[in-house]
């Protein structure tokens, strides 16, 4: 099979992820810094430019040569890192708990293969705080997959109420 939906699916997924991340970063920037901190905006611009370049007919369509595809992936990956830092900075500004979240704030980049370095290496009895952001204007119900070691877990929401969970083992 060939064609738009079958060629270079990983690049298309990377573009979709990057665009979702970009929209979330822009929203969090506005919420955390209403006067538009220039440094935060400078971290977002490279991803906007990379996504703009990928809209070229050879980019997102998947008809580009392999070395061009590799360059697109490189550009996206580098600019995604800057946007992630912008999101971390925005979350720091929005967090009022007084805790320093900068040490453990990470993004799990390999969830598509069920890997996340921080959740899989947790010690028994340790706590993990995860931030889940809904960029939509309305509430949604959505499953969130988090790879963990076999064990017992208690999951609560921001209000401290327990959230129903299901543990599925992946071998």
CA–CA separation, 108 and 136 (whole Å)? 21
CA distances from 21 to 6, 155, 167 (A): 23, 24, 27
% of the chain exceeding 90 in pLDDT: 18
CB-side exposure of 37: number of CA atoms within 13 Å? 17
Q: Where in the chain is the domain with CATH 1.20.1270.50?
A: 9-94
Torsional sign, CA 16, 43, 75, 116: negative
Judge whether residue 91 has pLDDT over 60.
Answer: yes
| Superfamily of structural domain 9-94 | Glycoside hydrolase family 38, central domain (1.20.1270.50)
**pTM, rounded to two decimals:** 0.78
Q: What is the mean pLDDT of residues 23-32?
A: 88
Lowest mean pLDDT among 27-31, 58-62, 113-117: 113-117
Question: Is residue 82 classed as helix, strand or coil in its secondary structure?
Answer: helix
């Amino acid at each position: 099979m060939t064609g738009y939906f079958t060629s270079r699916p990983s690049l298309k997924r990377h573009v979709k992820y990057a665009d979702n991340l970009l929209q979330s970063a822009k929203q969090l920037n506005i919420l955390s810094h209403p006067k538009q901190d220039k440094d935060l905006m400078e971290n977002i611009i490279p991803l906007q430019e990379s996504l703009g370049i990928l809209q070229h007919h050879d980019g997102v369509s998947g008809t580009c040569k392999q070395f061009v595809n590799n360059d697109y992936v490189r550009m996206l990956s580098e600019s995604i890192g800057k946007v992630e830092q912008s999101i971390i900075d925005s979350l720091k500004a929005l967090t009022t708990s007084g805790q320093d979240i900068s040490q453990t704030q990470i993004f799990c980049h390999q969830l598509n293969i069920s890997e996340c370095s921080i959740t899989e290496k947790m010690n028994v009895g340790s706590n993990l705080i995860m931030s889940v952001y809904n960029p939509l204007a309305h509430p949604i119900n959505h499953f969130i997959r988090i790879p963990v070691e076999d064990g017992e877990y208690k999951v609560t929401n921001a209000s401290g109420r327990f959230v129903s969970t299901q543990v599925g083992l992946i071998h």
